[in-house]
C-alpha cells in the first residue's frame, strides 16, 4: 500500500466560525492536527482546505496544503478534489478530520491494517462507550458490527438494542482509492439523509466497512466548550 493522509478543513463552520485557525496552546488547531498526523508515520500528510488562512498556517508550520472549492459538500469530496489536484498515485487515502487536535497518532495506522484484507473497501475506528450519557446522545455516533469487525450500521440512536457494549464511532477513514472515487460519485442515500451520516451511503451501495476497536476517542472540536477542553488538554500535557 502507498497511503496518504489528507486532512479536510474549512473555515465556514456554523457552530464555531474559523475553527481551523483557532489558537490551541500557541498554534492553530489545523497545525495541531497536522502534527499529530505526521507523528503517526503512516504516510505523507496533506491538508485540503478552502481558504488561504488555513493554507498559510499549515505552510508556516512546514506542512503541505492545497486549496479546494469552498462549495464542496463534504470532507470526502474535499479530499478527493485534493487528491486529483496533486495528481498522486496513492492507492490508500486516510481521511483525518481537521477538528481532532487531541488525536492519538498511533490509532491512524490501525486503519491500514484492516485494508490488508482485500475484501475491505473502507476501514474506520470505534471505542467502547464508558459514559452512559453518550449512549443516548445523538451527537455521539454509534456503530453496530459483526464479530469479524464488519460494520453493519451506523446511527445516532443506541444500537444494537439490548444488553451489551455500545461503540462510539471515530470519524477517521482509510479508503481504497477506488472506494473513495465510487463514494464521491454516488448521490446521497436515503438513510444517509435521514441519519445525517455519509458513511451510510457506502453501506447502502454494498461497500464493505471494517472497524477496529481502539482505547481512545479524540476530542472533536466544534463548539467553544470543546475548544476550551482542547486548550486545557494541551496545557496539561505541555505539548
Q: What confidence tens digit (pLDDT) does each residue in 78-104 have?
A: 999 999 999 888 999 999 999 999 999
Instruction: Please indicate, yes or no, if residue 109 is contained in any of the structural domains.
Output: yes
CB contact at 8 A, 94 and 41 = no
Give the pLDDT confidence score for residue 15 in this predicted structure: 76
Percentage of residues in the chain with pLDDT exceeding 70?
99
Residues 135 and 172 in one domain: yes
- Are 125 and 58 within one domain? no
**9-18, 42-51, 175-184, 223-232, range with the lowest pLDDT:** 9-18
Q: What is the pLDDT of residue 239?
A: 64
- Say if residue 113 is in the same domain as residue 23: no
Domain with 69 in it: 1-100
Asked if residue 86 and residue 119 are part of one domain, the reply reads no
Q: What does the alpha-carbon distance between residue 112 and residue 173 come to, in Å, rounded to a whole number? A: 9
Lowest mean pLDDT among 140-149, 186-195, 220-229: 220-229
| Residue 200: partners with Cβ closer than 8 Å, 6 or more residues away | 153, 154, 189, 191, 192
Neighbours of 132 (CB within 10 A): 9
In this prediction, residue 186 carries a pLDDT of 95
24 and 109 within one domain: no
Query: Residue 101: what pLDDT?
Result: 93
> Are residue 79 and residue 148 in the same domain, yes or no?
no
Tell me: do 35 and 61 sit in the same domain.
Answer: yes
235 in any annotated domain = no
Comparing 216 with 94, the larger pLDDT belongs to 94
Domain boundary among 100, 132, 148: 100
**What percent of the chain is predicted at pLDDT more than 90?**
86
Residue with the three cell numbers 482546505: 49
Residues 121, 188 within the same domain? yes
Alpha-carbon distances of 133 from 130, 140, 144, rounded to whole Å: 9, 10, 18
For residue 86, give every residue at least 6 positions away whose Cβ sits within 8 Å of its Cβ, in sequence order, or none: 46, 66
Do residue 126 and residue 191 come from a single domain?
yes
5, pLDDT greater than 70? yes
DSSP SS3 for 200: helix
Residues 196 and 168 grouped into a single domain: yes
Please report the DSSP string for 106-133 in residue order: HHHHHHHHHTTSTT-SEEEEEEE---HH
13-51 per-position pLDDT tens digit: 777 888 999 999 999 999 999 999 999 999 999 999 998
Same domain, 108 and 210: yes
Residue 188 pLDDT > 70, yes or no?
yes
**Could you give the CA distance from residue 41 to residue 152 in angstroms, rounded to a whole number?**
30
CB 9: neighbour CB atoms within 10 A? 29
At residue 134, does pLDDT exceed 90?
A: yes
CATH number where 73 lies: 3.90.550.10
Q: Residue 111 above 80 pLDDT? A: yes
Higher pLDDT, 155 or 237: 155
Euclidean distance between CA atoms 158 and 141, whole angstroms: 9
Q: Which residues contact 67 (CB under 8 A, 6 or more apart)?
A: 49, 50, 51, 52, 55
Residues 89, 112, single domain; the answer is no
**Structural domain contains residue 151:** yes
Judge whether residue 137 has pLDDT over 90: yes
φ, ψ at 102 (rounded to 5°): -100, 15
Q: Supply the pLDDT for residue 119.
A: 96
Looking at the 3D structure of the chain, how many domains does it have?
A: 2
Q: Do residues 88 and 197 make contact, with C-beta atoms less than 8 angstroms apart?
A: no
pLDDT of the residue at 85: 92
Residue with cell 445523538: 138
Amino acid at each position: 500500500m502507498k497511503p496518504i493522509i489528507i486532512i479536510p478543513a474549512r473555515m465556514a463552520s456554523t457552530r464555531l466560525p474559523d475553527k481551523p485557525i483557532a489558537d490551541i496552546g500557541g498554534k492553530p488547531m489545523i497545525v495541531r492536527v497536522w502534527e499529530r498526523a505526521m507523528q503517526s508515520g503512516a504516510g505523507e500528510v496533506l491538508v485540503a482546505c478552502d481558504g488561504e488562512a488555513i493554507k498559510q498556517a499549515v505552510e508556516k508550520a512546514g506542512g503541505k496544503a492545497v486549496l479546494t472549492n469552498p462549495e464542496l459538500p463534504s470532507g470526502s469530496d474535499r479530499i478527493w478534489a485534493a487528491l486529483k489536484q496533486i495528481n498522486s498515485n496513492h492507492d490508500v487515502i486516510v481521511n483525518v478530520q481537521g477538528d481532532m487536535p487531541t488525536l492519538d497518532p498511533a490509532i491512524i495506522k490501525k486503519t491500514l491494517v484492516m485494508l490488508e484484507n482485500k475484501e475491505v473497501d473502507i476501514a474506520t475506528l470505534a471505542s467502547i462507550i464508558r459514559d452512559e450519557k453518550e449512549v443516548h446522545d445523538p451527537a455521539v455516533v454509534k456503530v453496530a458490527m459483526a464479530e469479524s469487525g464488519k460494520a453493519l450500521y451506523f446511527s445516532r440512536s443506541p444500537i444494537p438494542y439490548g444488553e451489551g457494549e455500545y461503540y462510539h464511532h471515530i470519524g477517521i477513514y482509510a479508503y481504497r482509492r477506488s472506494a473513495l472515487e465510487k463514494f464521491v460519485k454516488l448521490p446521497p442515500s436515503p438513510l444517509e439523509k435521514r441519519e445525517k451520516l455519509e458513511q451510510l451511503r457506502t453501506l447502502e451501495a454494498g461497500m464493505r466497512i471494517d472497524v477496529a476497536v481502539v482505547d481512545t476517542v479524540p476530542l472533536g472540536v466544534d463548539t467553544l466548550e470543546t475548544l476550551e477542553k482542547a486548550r486545557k488538554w494541551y496545557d496539561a500535557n505541555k505539548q
